[in-house]
Structure formats: C-alpha cells, structure tokens
Amino acid sequence: MKNIIRTALIAFALTFGGITSFATTKHSMKQVATAQAEFKGKVTKIGGNRVTIKDEKGKFHIVRVTNSNILKGIKIGDEVDVKVAKGKSITIHKL
C-alpha cells in the first residue's frame, strides 16, 4: 500500500511540477534569422507578402517580402536563389 501511495505522489509531483515550470518560462515559437543568409530552393507557396521555399535539405523557409517587385516573374514550382536578412527577403532570383 505504501508503494502505491509513493508512486502516485511521485507521478503527481512530476506531472504538475513540469507544467508549472513550463508555464512560468517565456517561450517563443517564432524563428527569425538575425544574420544575413543565402539559400537555394523551390517555391512552394506565395501568399500576400510571404513566400515559402523548400531548400535543398528539405527544410521549409517562410520569407517575408518587403517589396512586391521582388516576386515579379516568380511562381510556385520555380527554383530560386534567396538572400535574406533579419527574416526579410533582400533578393529572390529565378535559377
């Protein structure tokens, strides 16, 4: 009987102790590149001022476009070379 109570108390402490420690820390799900980066990939989605590109390693990048002229002539399925700084596109060139 003591083992059952001890196990229940340990399970309770681990469960609710983890929840409160997670809730008290600040978490950000937003990932923004702070340095300048360049990558090549395939355009998978264009919507508003954002374009989604799947790079050569299979990773998806959502890039904000500050000037709509950057996307002229770019369409879904195009292979592109992208230069990004602080999460915003500097250039997108069709390959």
Does the domain at 37-94 match CATH 3.50.50.60? Answer given as: no
- 18-53: per-residue pLDDT in tens? 554 444 444 444 444 456 788 899 999 998 888 899
**Mean pLDDT along residues 1-28:** 61
- 73-88: per-residue pLDDT in tens? 899 999 999 888 876 7
Interatomic CA distance for residues 86 and 48, integer angstroms: 19
Report the DSSP beta bridge partners of residue 65: 89
Nearest to 61 by CA among 79, 77, 45: 45
Contact present, 47 and 68 (Cβ < 8 Å): no
Contacts (Cβ under 8 Å, ≥6 apart) of 28: none
Domain edges within the chain: 37-94
